[in-house]
């Protein structure tokens, strides 16, 4: 009985084995997996060739991607490494050949990636990373020493050219000591500059104000340069007149009256149909400036009064400070692109008084740009500490920014006489475009806050007849990075150690599987 039972069990086992074998036989194997198992993983040499093939494919794809010159993916909130629409608009219609020679830069550098985006907008712009040792013509023409290993960018169009050093591509925040990348602004400016027939010249009047480009308006100087303007200073007593090539004269808060020479020169400048940007901080003491007032009167602007505008509406002030007001912006071609933004911040602003009764007689057309809110008041006694308006203090809406256009000569078709006009843009504030921080703890200059920079740059763009430059500009970001010692170690581990560990782990797993077979 026992033998029969054993034979029966053997027959059942053999039957199961036969059935399983038939099932395995009928099951179709994955051809790719079988090929890998039988032909690739059997021998170490073939596996090595398999790894080399993967590396080759990776290198080939990488090479192809570089040849396609695809724009890098920009994950920054402000799209700092993506060409802005403003730059695209400025360069897309250029019909001249522009060469961008990148000396000392590698093919995969960020600045060259940015330059290649210009090429996609306009094929006439041709960026190229070059070895100066292979271009003695450029070395001789631009005075570049091949042995000095200089890093520079040459922007060339015919006989016009600009050479940008690394320091030209950055500016510095003097409060945070951060380096701010302005590569796009510099490149765009240089491209347009070498292809333009004329670059506007903006003169800043010297000798009458405590505000100057070198001392407390350095940011404005940089920003104006980035907007393709030639910036100059004017000592009118030395020159005796406003230069003929001046497209806009900038006058900042006069701390003393104009001399007769300056007054006559400015009046002649106005009567020739040219333009002025005037910024005037609040007046804290009574001043006698008949010549200054004589210039303003030509545009029906009354003398500035002692006092500052203060705000009572929390939504119209900064950080609860009634002296830092956010005025209502009026819609105009100067403000159209920043009209629906958070606005500008003015610090200790004063009101602009216009003699409305004389506008028509003086042939002046007025356009409001900025107005303090209806909840503001004008404080003339600085000894008062109250944040609310007191008895006798004027309340209501005050004009703090205006555009005034004066007709010098009317158009006459019969005599073929062209119209001659002079434009004045005036703000009852000067600190808003200065380098001064709002407080000792502030990390930003006043011009960097909200849309202060845009307002002043748009004003000058309008005055120099460059309406295409009136826009809302992309903010630049800090590009320096100083990791701690621990952060530096972690970064190096991620970059170098992790890939090595992955390769080692792969080899170990392969060896274990090979031995099991």
Q: Does 175 share its domain with 202? A: no
Q: Does 445 share its domain with 362? A: yes
The enclosing domain of 163 has a CATH number of 3.40.30.10
Residue 158 belongs to a domain: yes
Q: Does 441 share its domain with 498? A: no
Last residue of a domain, one of 469, 494, 509: 469
DSSP codes joined into one string, 327-354: PEEPP-TTTTTTTTSS---EES--PPPB
pLDDT per residue of the chain (517 residues) written in tens, 0 to 9:
555 555 556 556 666 556 555 555 555 555 555 555 555 555 555 566 667 777 777 677 766 655 555 555 554 555 556 888 888 998 999 999 999 999 999 888 888 989 999 999 999 999 999 999 999 998 888 888 888 778 899 999 988 888 888 877 876 554 455 667 888 888 998 898 888 887 899 999 999 999 988 888 988 988 887 777 889 999 999 999 999 999 999 999 999 999 999 999 999 999 999 999 999 999 988 889 999 999 999 999 999 999 999 999 999 998 889 999 999 999 999 999 888 888 999 999 999 999 999 999 999 999 999 999 999 999 999 889 888 999 889 999 999 999 999 999 998 888 888 899 999 999 999 999 999 887 777 778 899 888 899 999 999 999 999 876 777 665 544 333 334 455 456 655 666 666 667 767 667 766 676 666 5
Q: Does 376 share its domain with 509? A: no
Residue 151 belongs to a domain: yes
Alpha carbon separation from 131 to 99, 191, 361, 472 (Å, rounded): 15, 22, 66, 38
Residue 42 belongs to a domain: no
Q: Domain limits at 24?
A: 1-28
Other Cβ atoms less than 10 A from the Cβ of 227: the count is 23
- Classify residue 454 by burial, with Cβ atoms within 10 Å: 0-12, 13-18, 19+: buried
The enclosing domain of 307 has a CATH number of 3.40.50.880
Q: Does 168 share its domain with 305? A: no
DSSP codes joined into one string, 384-439: ---SS--TT-EES--EEEEEEEEEEE--BTTTTBPPEEEEEEEES-SGGGSS-BSS
For the CA atoms of 185, 188, 190, 193, what is the dihedral angle to 10 degrees? Answer: -120
Total count of domains within the chain: 4
Residue 252 belongs to a domain: yes
Name which of 237, 241, 246 is nearest 206 in CA terms.
237
Q: Does 410 share its domain with 307? A: yes
Q: Does 300 share its domain with 169? A: no
pTM for this model (two decimals) = 0.67
Estimate the crossing angle of helix 452-463 against helix 218-226, to 10 degrees: 60
Residue 376 belongs to a domain: yes
Residue 462 belongs to a domain: yes
Q: Does 315 share its domain with 249? A: yes
Q: Does 238 share its domain with 352? A: yes
Please, are residues 127 and 141 in contact by the beta-carbon 8 Å criterion? no
Last residue of a domain, one of 163, 197, 231: 197
Q: Does 495 share its domain with 430? A: no
What per-residue confidence (pLDDT) applies to 337? 85
**What is the SS3 assignment for 57?**
helix
Please, are residues 451 and 335 in contact by the beta-carbon 8 Å criterion? no
Last residue of a domain, one of 197, 213, 232: 197
**HSE toward the beta carbon, residue 329, CA cutoff 13 A:** 22
Q: Does 252 share its domain with 277? A: yes
Residue 70 belongs to a domain: no
Q: Does 219 share its domain with 82? A: no
Residue 416 belongs to a domain: yes
Q: For residue 179, what is the enclosing H or E element?
A: strand 178-181
The number of angstroms, rounded, from the C-alpha of 96 to the middle of its chain's C-alpha atoms is 25
d(Cα 91, Cα 78) in Å, to the nearest integer? Answer: 21
What per-residue confidence (pLDDT) applies to 57? 73
């Amino acid at each position: 009985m026992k033998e029969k039972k054993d034979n029966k069990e053997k027959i059942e086992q053999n039957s199961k084995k036969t059935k399983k074998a038939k099932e395995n036989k009928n099951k179709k194997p994955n051809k790719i997996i079988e090929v890998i198992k039988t032909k690739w993983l059997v021998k170490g040499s073939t596996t090595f060739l398999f790894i080399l093939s993967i590396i080759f494919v990776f290198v080939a794809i990488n090479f192809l991607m570089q040849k396609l010159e695809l724009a890098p993916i920009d994950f920054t909130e402000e799209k700092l490494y993506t060409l802005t629409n403003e730059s695209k608009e400025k360069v897309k219609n250029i019909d001249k050949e522009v060469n961008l020679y990148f000396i000392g830069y590698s093919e995969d550098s960020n600045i060259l990636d940015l330059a290649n985006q210009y090429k996609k907008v306009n094929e006439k712009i041709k960026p190229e990373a070059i070895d100066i040792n292979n271009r003695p013509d450029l070395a001789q023409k631009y005075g570049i020493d091949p042995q000095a290993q200089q890093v520079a960018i040459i922007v060339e169009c015919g006989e016009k050219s600009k050479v940008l050093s690394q320091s030209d591509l950055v500016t510095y925040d003097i409060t945070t000591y951060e380096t701010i990348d302005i590569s796009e602004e510099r490149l765009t400016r240089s491209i347009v500059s070498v292809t333009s027939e004329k670059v506007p010249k903006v003169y800043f009047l010297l000798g009458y104000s405590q505000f100057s480009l070198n001392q407390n308006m350095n940011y404005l100087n940089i920003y104006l340069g980035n907007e393709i303007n030639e910036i100059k200073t004017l000592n009118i007593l030395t020159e005796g007149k406003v230069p003929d090539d001046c497209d806009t004269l900038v006058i900042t808060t006069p701390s003393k009256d104009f001399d007769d020479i300056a007054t006559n020169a400015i009046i002649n400048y106005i009567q020739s149909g040219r333009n002025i940007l005037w910024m005037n901080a609040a007046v804290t003491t009574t001043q006698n400036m008949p010549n200054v007032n004589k210039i303003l009167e030509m545009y029906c602007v009354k003398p500035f009064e002692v006092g500052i505008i203060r705000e009572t509406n929390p939504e119209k002030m900064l950080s609860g400070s009634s002296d830092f007001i956010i005025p209502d912006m009026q819609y105009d071609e100067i403000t159209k692109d920043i009209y629906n933004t958070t606005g500008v911040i003015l610090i200790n602003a004063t009101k602009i008084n216009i003699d409305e009764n004389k506008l028509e007689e003086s042939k002046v057309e007025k356009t409001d740009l900025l107005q303090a809110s209806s909840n503001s008041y004008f404080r003339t006694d600085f000894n008062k500490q109250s944040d609310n308006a007191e008895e006798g203090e004027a309340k209501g809406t005050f004009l703090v920014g205006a555009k005034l256009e004066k007709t010098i000569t009317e158009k006459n078709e019969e005599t073929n006489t062209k119209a001659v006009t002079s434009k004045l843009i005036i703000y009852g504030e000067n600190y808003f475009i200065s380098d001064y921080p709002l407080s000792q703890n502030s990390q930003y200059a006043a011009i960097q806050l909200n849309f202060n920079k845009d307002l002043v740059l748009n004003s000058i763009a309008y005055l120099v007849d460059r309406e295409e430059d009136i826009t809302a500009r992309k903010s630049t970001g800090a590009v320096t990075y100083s990791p701690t010692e621990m952060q530096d170690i972690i970064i190096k581990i991620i970059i170098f150690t992790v890939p090595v560990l992955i390769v080692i782990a792969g080899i170990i797993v392969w060896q274990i599987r090979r031995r099991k077979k």
